[in-house]
Amino acid sequence: MKNILEIIRPSTKEVEYYLKKWDSLENYTLQESSLRKLFTKTYPLNTDLDDVLIKVCALNDFYSTNIFSPFTVAKHIVSLKIDDALNEDDLDIVNRIAEVTMKGGNIKNFYSFASKYCSHHKPTTYPIYDSYVEKMLKYCKKKDKFDNFKTEDLKSYERFREILLSFRKFYSLDEFDLKQIDKYLWQAGKKYFLRNYKKSKIKNMDVMV
């Protein structure tokens, strides 16, 4: 069956549209400003378990990241001593934060959460990985061949960032920083792919009936 999903080609006009839309959404802007204050002013370091736990819980609540044991994740972050890595723009720290050994020895990969945690310390250095961002990048790759990445490459944070930079260069969006590109991709992805998912779900339900 032909894919009827048609996304408007990324452009300066499109990014500016979504950035303006973002600024008009009070819940998003207030959420982001409160997290920015928490991460960069109130608790900028990651050495004290109390401070880190508050940041983990705030992110988990605002973004619904499904961190079912914030305490375990906070202890993990403190143990990594990440402040030097953040100061040095070490991209590998995201994957190290993501891999958490839970109670019982099970290892969980909280990759999206880890990208958000680092991003709220340094938003233009650490773009956020999200399923909607992934869907947009994969769609644009298939349509315009802006990069030759594989899906699994998106889960290697250094490569993920390289892909975003390739995306920005290919579509002549160099005037925008990675945080702005992130806002555009997330909103556009949510608009197009959430709608497409709902249509697919309704159609499947009709078939079942």
Q: Has residue 5 been placed in a domain?
A: no
pLDDT at residue 194 tops 90 = no
- Is 173 inside any structural domain? yes
Q: What is the pTM of this model?
A: 0.90
Domain range enclosing 46: 36-119
State how far the Cα of 112 lies from the Cα of 76, in Å rounded to an integer: 16
Q: How confident is the model at residue 53 (pLDDT cuts 50, 70, 90)?
A: very high
Residues 104 and 132 in one domain: no
Query: Is 2 domain-assigned?
Result: no
Is the pLDDT reported for residue 14 higher than 60? Answer: yes
- Last residue of some domain: 77, 99, 119? 119
Instruction: Considering only CA atoms, give the Rg of the chain.
Output: 18
Angle of the 49-63 helix axis to the 26-37 helix axis, nearest 10: 170
Is residue 127 within 8 A of residue 164, CB to CB? The reply is yes
Last residue of a domain, one of 69, 99, 119: 119
Is the residue at 208 inside a domain?
Answer: no
Burial environment of residue 153 by CB neighbours within 10 A (0 to 12, 13 to 18, 19 or more): middle
pLDDT digits (tens, 9 = 90+) for 110-169: 999 999 999 999 999 999 999 999 999 999 999 999 999 999 999 999 999 999 999 999
Which of 119, 151, 181 is the endpoint of a domain? Answer: 119
Q: Are residues 144 and 160 in the same domain?
A: yes
How large is the average pLDDT for residues 32-50?
97
Is residue 147, in this structure, part of any structural domain at all? yes
State whether 69 and 103 are in the same domain.
Answer: yes
Length of the chain: 209
192 in a domain, yes or no?
yes
**How many domains is the chain partitioned into structurally?**
2
Across 49-58, 87-96, 195-204, least confident range: 195-204
Q: In this structure, are 144 and 102 located in the same domain? A: no
- Would 6 be classed as within a structural domain? no
Q: Which of 56, 53, 76 is nearest to 66 (CA)?
A: 56
CB 56 within 8 A of CB 74: yes
Instruction: Provide the pLDDT for residue 195.
Output: 58
Handedness of CA 121, 61, 183, 181 (dihedral sign): positive
By mean pLDDT, which of 35-44, 91-100, 198-207 is the weakest?
198-207
The pLDDT-based confidence of 196 (bands split at 50, 70, 90) is low
